[in-house]
Amino acid sequence: MRSLFLLLLVALASLGESKKEGGERHRRAKRESLSRSKRRWVLSTIELEEEMDVKYPYKISTMYNDKTANVQHEFQITVEDEPEGLFTINKATGEVYVHRRLDREKKKSYHITFDVWDLTAGKKIDKELSFDVDLIDINDNAPRFTNQFKKSYDVMENTKVGEYLPVSMNVVDDDLEGTINSTVVVTVGKQSPPEPKIGVKKIDERLHQLVSEGCFDYDKAKQYSVVINASDRGKPPLSRNVTVTLNVIDTNSHQPTFKKRQYEAEAVEMQTPDDILRVAVEDKDTPNTDGWRAKYSFISGNEDKMYKITTDPKTNEGILGVVKAKNFDVTTLVKLQIGVENIEPLKVCKDGKLIEDLSILPPRDSVNVTVKMVDTNDAPVFEKYTEEVYQTEESEKGQVLYTPKVKDVDSSNVRFELLEDPAKWVTIDKKTGAITTIEKMDRESPFVDEKNIYRIVIAAIDDGSPPATSTCTVSVHLRDINDNTPTLLNKTAILCSNHADKVMVRAKDADAEPFSGPFGFSLANDKTAKEHWKIEPEYGEEVSIRLLTKLPKGNYSVPLVIQDKQNQPSKESLSVVVCDCVKPGVCALPKPLSTGIGIAAIGLIIAALLVFLLLLFLLTDKRKFIIPDVKDEYKQTLMRYNEEGLGNDCKAESKVLASKTTESMTGGIKLGHMQNIEASPGMVQNVETYYTTTSNMSSNMETWNSQQQGGFHRSMKGNSRRSTSLYNRRGTVQSNYTFNRSLSTWSDDRIISLLDRRLTVTDSNQTDSSDDYVKIYHHEENGNSCVSLDLLSSDNHQDDLSFLNDLGPQFKTLEKIIRADKSEVIKAEKSEI
C-alpha cells in the first residue's frame, strides 16, 4: 500500500511568459523535469542570460511538494557563497526570484538549496532539493590591451619588408572563451603619413606586433602616428583602440663624398709629423651619427705602411700623417689614393624595398693625394744602437770599454760626445768614439742599478746644416769582487733586563753572492766580554747576543768580529744599554732619590746657620767671607782636568801660617789635611773648596768600594787618561771633582777651629820663617795667577795614603793608571826643560 503514499510530483515550469520591457532579450526559462531518488527531488539546471534588461525582482521558477497538502508549511532557499538577498523564494507559493542583473564575467553559476518546513511540527517535510543557475554569455566586453604603451617608439630607417617594429600588443577579451564574443582581431586603423604601410602580425592568441610593409625614408618623414584597433566578432562587435607615435631614426643611406678631387702635401724625410694634410667630405646623413662619421683608408701608395690617416671627430676630416721615418736620397713625390666610407654600413631602398645585394650598391668615393718628400741631412748611423759590455769592478782606470762603428752617407766628418755618464767614470775620444775609464768603477755605487748595470749614452754628430745626431747606449755589466766587509745594521741595542736576557743583531754586506752573508759572528779577544756575553748562533744573517751574568743598569760595549762567506773579517762594536723597560725598546726613567732629614741633622743645620751668622758678624769690617758653593750632584765617572788654560786675575798673598793637620775617617778613608793660611779673601774660598773636595773624595771612595763589592768592573776605553791624576804639570790641584755631599758633614768643631785659625792669620801679620808657606809659581803665557791649593800642603805634612795599599786588586789598576799618567807629565816637563 506504500504506493498510496507516494505521489508523483510533476513540476511544470512555464517559461513562456509574455515579453516585458525589451522582450527580445528575454529568454524563457526551460522546464526541467524532476527525478525521484529516495524522496529527494533534484532540479538539474536553470539557465539565465547575464545582464538581462528586465524588471527586478524577476521570477525564474516555482517550487512544489506533494506533502504540503493540509499542512501549514513554508518554503526556504539557501544560496551557496553569495550574499543574502540575491535570490529569494515566496515562502507560501514557492516562486523563486532574482533581484538584480548578473554578470557572467564575475560568477558563472549559482548553487541553490530548496527546503519545505512543517510550521506546526517545526521540521522539514521532505528531503532537500538542489538546483543550479547558469548564466548565458552575451557580448558585453570589448577587447582590452593588457600591456603598457609608451608615448613614442624609435624605428630605423630603411627597414626590411616584414621586419618587426618595437611595438607589441597583448590583447584579451573577458567574454566566454572560444566564442565569437571573445575572438579578437587587431589591425592598424589609421596611420599618418600613409606610406610605407604598417601592419600587425599575430604572434599567438593574445600577442600581436607591428611590422613594416616597406622602407621608412628619413628624408621624407621623420615621425608617424599609428592607431591600433582591437575588435571582437560578437553581435554587435565591440572594439578598443590605442594610438602610438613612431620616430624614424636616420641611418646611413647616403655615401660620403670628397669636396675636392686632388690634394697635395709636403713632408721632410726622417721626420714623423702627425698632420701634413687634411681632406674633407660631405655627407647628407644626420651629423654626429655613425651613418655620418667618415672612415678613411688607403687604396694604394702606402704599401710600406709609412703613412697614416685618421678622422677628426669634430670636423669629420681625414688627417694624413707620417708614422715611419724613411731616408730618401733625393726629393721624391709619393702618389697616394685615399677612400672614404661611413662607420655604419650603407643601406639603400629602391621601389620601397631595401637593397640587400651589396654588389649593386654605389661604390665608395676616393681621392688622389701627392706627397712631396724633401731630402735632408741624414744623421750618422750606429752599427749597434745598444751595446753590452762586461767589466770587473775596481779595475784599474785607463781601460777601453767600447769603440762604436758609425756610418754617415751625407758626411764623412763625425764627432762623438758623451751624453750620459752619471758617476763621471769614463771619457770619450771625440774622433773615434772610444770610451775609456778614468776612475775605478764601483758596483755598489748608487749610479749602478739593481741589475749591476752602469749605463753610458754617447752621441754621434755630423757636420751637416743643421747637424744631425744619433745616439747609442752602452750598458756596462759590473762583476762583483769582495771589496766590502760586513757591518752591523744597528750599532746600538736596548736589553730589557726585566723581560729578556738577549738582544738581536743583524749584519749586512754591500757585496753580492758569494761575497756576502750568511756571516760568522764571534766575540773579539776580550776576556771581560767573553765572561759576560755569548753569541747564539754564531752563523747566519741575524744572531742573538746573550747576557751570561747579571749586570747593573748602564751602557756596555760588546766587541764583535763579523766574517763574510770568504772569511773576510770586520771588527764592530755593539753598544748595549741595559735597563728596565716600560715596553719593548723603551727604558724606564730613573727614580728620583729619596731624602729624609732626622732630628740630629736638623740640629746640625741650625748650628751651622748660627756659625754662619757669627762669621758674617766678625768679618763685616774690611774682609769678605765666601761660603763654598756645595752642590748636591752625583757623578760616578772620573774626569780628567789636566788641561792648561786661562786663569783669573786674582792675586794671593804669600804669607801663610801652618796649622796642625785635621784628619777624619769616613768609611776607613782619610779626608786629608786642612791648613790655615793668610791669603786674600778669595783664598778663603779656595781653602774651603779644598776641604769640600777632600770630603767629597771620601764619598767617592765609598761609592767606588760599593761597586767593587758588587763584583763587577766596568771596562771603559780611555779612562786611564781621564781618571785620578790629582796634580797637573804645574802643580795645580785638580779639585773639580764633585760628588754628592751635604753640609751636614761639616761639624761644629771643624768650623770653629777653622775660624780661629783664620782670625789668627788675619790679626797677626807675623811672617813664619819656615818653608811652610804658599809658593808662587810662574805660569806660561796667561796662566792662572791665583795661588794653587797644592801650596796648602807642605813637605812636612803630606797626606798618609798608605791605606790605599789595602783597598783591593781593583785599586792596583787605578794606581797603575795614575803612575802612568804621572810619568807622562814628568817626561813632558823634562822635554820642555
Ordered DSSP codes for 31-49: P---EEETTEEE--EEEEE
- The yes-or-no verdict on residue 659 having pLDDT over 60 is no
| Higher per-residue confidence, 756 vs 23 | 756
Residue 612 falls inside a structural domain: no
Whole-angstrom Cα Rg for the chain: 64
Same domain, yes or no: 762 and 638: yes
Q: For residue 807, name the pLDDT band (cuts at 50, 70, 90).
A: low
Looking at this protein, which amino acid is placed at residue 567? N
Confidence of residue 114 (pLDDT cuts 50, 70, 90): confident
Q: In sequence order, which ranges of 219-295 are alpha helices (DSSP H)?
A: none
**Of 242-246, 459-463, 740-744, where does mean pLDDT reach its minimum?**
740-744
Q: Does residue 519 sit within a domain? A: yes
Distance CA 550, CA 497 (A): 9
What is the overall mean pLDDT for the chain?
74
d(CA 786, CA 685): 12
pLDDT at 748: 55
Locate 790 and state its grid cell: 797644592
What's the angle, vertex CA 490, arms to CA 489 and CA 493, rounded to 5? Answer: 145
Q: Pick from 217, 249, 281: which residue ends a domain? A: 249
Sign of CA dihedral 418, 424, 426, 430: positive
Identity of residue 406: V
- The predicted structure's pLDDT at residue 831: 60
Same domain, 7 and 109: yes
Closest CA to 669 of 786, 801, 821: 801
User: Which CATH number fits the domain that encloses residue 429?
Assistant: 2.60.40.60
387/275 Cα distance (integer angstroms): 35
- Residue type at 53 in one-letter notation: D
C-alpha cell at 437: 775609464
Domain membership of residue 536 as a residue range: 487-587
AA letter at 152: S
Q: Answer whether residue 613 is part of any domain.
A: no
**pLDDT at 339 exceeding the cut of 90:** yes
178 with 105, same domain?
Answer: no
Q: What is the pLDDT of residue 596?
A: 53
* Strand 400-402 with 435-437, pairing: antiparallel
Q: What confidence tier does 647 reach under pLDDT thresholds 50, 70, 90?
A: very low
C-alpha distances (whole Å) from 395 to each of 425, 444, 453, 730 are 12, 14, 15, 57
pLDDT at 416 (0 to 100)? 95
Q: What is the mean pLDDT of residues 415-432?
A: 94
Cell of 15: 517559461
**Cis before residue 362, ω within 30 degrees of 0?**
no
Give residue 153's pLDDT.
94
Quick check: is 600 in a domain? no
Residue 521 has pLDDT above 80, yes or no: yes
Give yes or no for residue 122 having a pLDDT over 60. Answer: yes
Give the integer Cα–Cα distance in Å for 529 and 551: 12
Task: Indicate whether 214 pLDDT > 60.
Answer: yes
**pLDDT beyond 90 at 93:** no
Q: What is the pLDDT of residue 805?
A: 58
Q: What is the dihedral of CA 778, 784, 788, 790, to 10 degrees?
A: -70
- Residue 236 burial by CB count (10 A; 0-12/13-18/19+): exposed, middle or buried? exposed
Strands (E), 137-254: 144-145, 152-156, 164-172, 184-192, 198-202, 207-212, 223-232, 239-249
pLDDT of the residue at 823: 65
Please give the distance of CA 258 from its chain centroid, rounded to a whole number. 54
Residue 276 gets which letter from DSSP?
S
Contact criterion met (CB below 8 Å) for 61 and 96: yes
Q: Which of 469, 493, 354, 358 is nearest to 419 (CA)?
A: 469
Q: What is the pLDDT of residue 620?
A: 65
Contacts of residue 246, Cβ cutoff 8 Å, sequence gap at least 6: 152, 153, 154, 155, 165, 167, 198, 223, 224, 225, 226
In eight-state DSSP terms, residue 436 is E
Whether 610 shows a pLDDT value over 80: the answer reads: yes
Tell whether the torsion through CA atoms of 697, 700, 705 and 706 is positive or negative: positive
pLDDT by residue (tens digit) across 342-368? 999 998 888 878 887 878 888 899 999
Q: Is the pLDDT of residue 18 over 60?
A: no
Q: Are residue 10 and residue 126 in the same domain, yes or no?
A: yes
CA-nearest of 745, 755, 744, 749 to 603 is 744
Please tell me whether residues 510 and 527 are part of one structural domain.
Answer: yes
Kindly state whether residues 333 and 225 are assigned to the same domain. Answer: no
- Axis-axis angle for helices 748-763, 681-709 (nearest 10): 150
pLDDT score recorded for residue 738: 35
Domain boundary among 479, 503, 524: 479
Indicate whether 662 belongs to any domain: yes
For residue 794, the model assigns a pLDDT of 41
Q: Which residue has the cell 813632558?
A: 828
Q: What pLDDT, on the 0 to 100 scale, is given for residue 673?
A: 34
User: Would you say residue 621 has pLDDT above 50?
Assistant: yes
Q: In Å, how far from its chain's centre is CA 669?
A: 69
Return left, alpha or beta for 158; rule: phi > 0 is left, psi -120 to 50 is alpha, else beta. Answer: left
Residue 433 has pLDDT above 90, yes or no: yes
Same domain, 353 and 285: yes
Rounded to an integer, what distance in angstroms lies between the CA atom of residue 730 and that of residue 727?
8
Q: Is residue 671 part of a domain?
A: yes
Pairing mode, strands 58-62 and 95-98: antiparallel
pTM for the whole structure: 0.42
Q: Which of 30-39, 328-337, 738-747, 819-828 has the highest mean pLDDT?
A: 328-337
Per DSSP, helices labelled H in 386-441 are none
Q: pLDDT tens, 754-781?
A: 666 666 555 554 444 444 445 454 445 4
C-alpha cell at 138: 552575451
Residue keyed to cell 528586465: 54
Q: Closest Cα to residue 81, out of 36, 58, 111?
A: 111
State the pLDDT at residue 568: 85
| 254 close to 285: Cβ distance less than 8 angstroms | yes
In a domain, 601, yes or no: no
The string of DSSP letters for 343-361 reads: SSPP--EETTEE---GGGS
In angstroms, rounded to a whole number, what is the distance separating the alpha carbons of residues 534 and 520?
14
Least confident piece of the model among 25-39, 467-481, 572-586, 791-805: 25-39
| 665 and 702 part of one domain | yes
Q: How many CB atoms lie within 10 A of CB 334?
A: 17
Instruction: Tell me which H or E stretch contains 787.
Output: none
* The pLDDT of residue 534: 87
Q: What is the three-class DSSP state of 685? A: helix
Residue 605 lies in a domain: no
Q: Check whether 520 has a pLDDT greater than 70.
A: yes
297 and 154 together in one domain: no
**How far apart (Å, rounded) are the C-alpha atoms in residues 545 and 523?**
10
Q: What is the DSSP letter of 797?
A: G
Residues 408 and 473 reside in one and the same domain:
yes
Which helix (DSSP H) or strand (DSSP E) does residue 523 occupy?
A: strand 519-523
**Last residue in a domain, options 83, 108, 136:** 136
Q: How many domains does the chain have?
A: 6
* Residue reference for cell 630603411: 158
- SS3 of residue 191 by DSSP: strand
Please report how many Cα atoms fall inside a 13 Å half-sphere around the Cα of residue 686, on the Cβ side. 23
Q: For 250-285, how does the pLDDT look when each residue is reduced to its tens digit (9 = 90+)?
A: 999 899 999 999 999 999 888 899 999 999 999 999
The reported pLDDT for the residue numbered 301 is: 93
Which among 77, 62, 67, 79 has a CA at the least distance from the CA of 120?
Answer: 67
More confident residue, 632 or 292: 292
Q: Which of 721, 749, 752, 722 is nearest to 737 (CA)?
A: 722
Query: Do 781 and 684 fall into the same domain?
Result: yes
Q: How far apart are CA 776 and CA 759, in angstroms?
A: 23
User: What grid cell was written down for 466?
Assistant: 743643421
For every residue of 370-381, DSSP letters joined together read: EEEEE--PPPPE
Residues 369 and 459 both lie in one domain? no
Cell of 163: 621586419
pLDDT higher than 70, residue 548: yes
- Tell me what pLDDT residue 811 has: 67
pLDDT at 221: 92
pLDDT at 705: 38
Contact 414, 451 (CB under 8 A): no
β-strand partners of 475: 388, 455
